[in-house]
């Protein structure tokens, strides 16, 4: 009985994986995971999304202060890329000096939730990974 369940699990996983690769042609020649990953797999997007998720709205220099180490250029590039994909909105207030506010869209908040799930898994298993890494280094 247990064996059957485990076997069923396996088959489901295999089907899902097959589905991912079936869709490859339709979606600009790339599997959806890779495509999504391209959106936040870079060096700064995650931090940007997390900060906007925590603070709800932030100005350019506020973000720059919160994301330690990021350069002006990379913050600009990152925000433009997130905006392009509809994950972030950019609102310019025509004042002097200018004020620009960034927020997550609903889509961006959805992605944030996925990231947090991934973070949960990561926190649960990070120690195993660190241990494995150390074992590997000692061999």
51 part of the interface to DNA, by CB under 7 A: no
Query: Could you say which of DNA, a second copy, none residue 61 binds, taking C-beta under 5 to 8 angstroms by partner kind?
Result: DNA
69 part of the interface to DNA, by CB under 7 A: yes
Q: Could you tell me the smallest distance in angstroms from the CB atom of residue 12 to DNA?
A: 29
Residues 6+ away with beta carbon under 8 Å from 20:
31, 32, 33
Q: Which two tokens stand for residue 55?
A: 């603070």
Q: Could you tell me the smallest distance in angstroms from the CB atom of residue 15 to a second copy?
A: 9
Residues 23-42 that bind a second copy (CB under 8 A): 23, 27-28, 31-37, 39, 41
Q: How far is CA 67 from CA 17, 85, 95, 115, 136, in A?
A: 35, 21, 25, 17, 33
């Amino acid at each position: 009985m247990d064996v059957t369940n485990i076997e069923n699990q396996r088959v489901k996983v295999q089907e899902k994986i097959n589905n991912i690769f079936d869709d490859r042609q339709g979606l600009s020649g790339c599997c959806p995971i890779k495509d999504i990953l391209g959106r936040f797999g870079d060096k700064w997007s995650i931090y940007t999304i997390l900060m906007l998720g925590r603070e709800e709205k932030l100005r350019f220099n506020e973000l720059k202060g919160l994301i330690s180490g990021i350069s002006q250029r990379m913050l600009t590039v990152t925000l433009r890329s997130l905006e392009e994909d509809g994950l972030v909105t950019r609102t310019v207030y025509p004042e002097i000096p200018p004020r620009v506010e960034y927020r997550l869209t609903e889509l961006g908040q959805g992605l944030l939730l996925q990231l947090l799930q991934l973070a949960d898994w990561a926190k649960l298993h990070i120690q195993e990974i660190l241990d494995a890494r150390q074992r590997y280094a000692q061999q």
